[in-house]
Amino acid sequence: MLARAITLIESRRADHQKTARALVQELLPHTGKAVRVGITGAPGVGKSTTIDALGTLLTGHDHKVAVLAVDPSSVRTGGSILADKTRMARLAADANAFIRPSPAAGTFGGVAAKTRETMLICEAAGFDVILVETVGIGQSETAVADMTDFFLALMLPGAGDELQALKKGLVELADMIAVNKADGDNIARANMAAAQYRAALHILSPRSPNWAPPVVTYSALTGEGIAALWDHILDHRRKLTASGEIAARRREQQIKWMWAMFEDRLRERLRSAALKVRLPQIEAAVAAGRLSPAVAVDEIMRALGLVKD
């Protein structure tokens, strides 16, 4: 039933979208109680392995865990492999876990277009921990931070990307930085990378006045340090709940979500029958240099009925 509800939400058919909106509205009073965690990191950092280990730990402590895994979509074909379950073997077979891979489908921020609605549906179904795994594109991670309570950034030891992470603003957004693969010969490199991130955090303003983001090392392969990740997430939740920041953050997220959906609706109107005829003509005029982009936008707005002559 949960899987079918999410399929309904992800559908682009107008009648399905109308039903989906009614469904989310009906379930709204039963949402908001879960711990929402966004997990990001570069491809190969071990996001899926980390989620498999963390999720298994949580289900072992009677939590119900929903994993919303976002798969990158091909720019050329638009397709996605959606194979995240194969990298979460233990969790995929766990009765207290639900894994839903969804295509990014061109959405900015490494999240699927309907991730927020899917999260609410999972909460209403009784899942008390929601883990959102992003594609790790590193450019628009604010989208993930804007829909979760805790933003976890996974890093690789000795990858030389410490400065790159700073430039991307990823460190600024993170509520915790965790350096994976701290096992075997990698332990020294992981500790060195962690020290570099700690030094980087000293020169940045923290995201919250009530929380100093910790930098930890762990191994998703051996499970060493996985329990400590969850302890930090719980500590963050306790402190920010006590200060009222979690509630304030969620209120802001709801407003941002409203405007994001409004922009999506406007984009949908560009596919209307009236514009389908007009748009190719406008694009051709801009390409030929007969029409400036600014005037072309006015034409599109006029066709949408948003601007009067």
Cβ atoms 70, 111 nearer than 8 A? yes
Report the topology of domain 29-243: Rossmann fold (3.40.50)
Query: Which of 22-36, 93-107, 152-166 is predicted least confidently?
Result: 152-166
Residue linked to tokens 């979690």: 246
| pLDDT (0 to 100) of residue 162 | 54
Q: Which residues of 268-306 are buried (b: 16+ CB within 10 A; e: fewer)?
A: eeeeeeeeeeebeebeeebeeeebeeeebeebbeebeee
Q: Supply 11's token pair.
A: 């559908």
Please state the φ and ψ torsions of residue 197, each to the nearest 5 degrees. Answer: -70, -40
CA 273 to chain centre: 33
- Local structure of residue 117 (DSSP, 8 states): H
Q: Minimal CA–CA distance to 6: which of 108, 125, 166?
A: 125
The partner residues of 208 in beta bridges, in order of sequence, read: 211
* DSSP notation for 233-276: HHHHHHHHHHHTHHHHHHHHHHHHHHHHHHHHHHHHHTTSHHHH
Cβ atoms 70, 113 nearer than 8 A? no
Question: Is the confidence at residue 265, as pLDDT, over 60?
Answer: yes
Question: Is the confidence at residue 287, as pLDDT, over 90?
Answer: yes
**Which percentage of the chain shows pLDDT scores above 70?**
83
Mean pLDDT of 267-296: 86
Cβ atoms 47, 78 nearer than 8 A? no
Question: Is the confidence at residue 45, as pLDDT, over 60?
Answer: yes
Mean pLDDT of 37-64: 92
| pLDDT (0 to 100) of residue 244 | 96
Say how far apart CA 186 and CA 155 lie, in whole Å.
13
| pLDDT (0 to 100) of residue 93 | 92
| pLDDT (0 to 100) of residue 80 | 40
Question: Is the confidence at residue 123, as pLDDT, over 90?
Answer: yes
| pLDDT (0 to 100) of residue 73 | 44
Note the pTM of the prediction, 2 decimals.
Answer: 0.85
Question: Is the confidence at residue 131, as pLDDT, over 80?
Answer: yes
Cβ atoms 91, 55 nearer than 8 A? yes
Query: Which of 100-104, 147-151, 293-297 is predicted least confidently?
Result: 100-104
| pLDDT (0 to 100) of residue 78 | 43
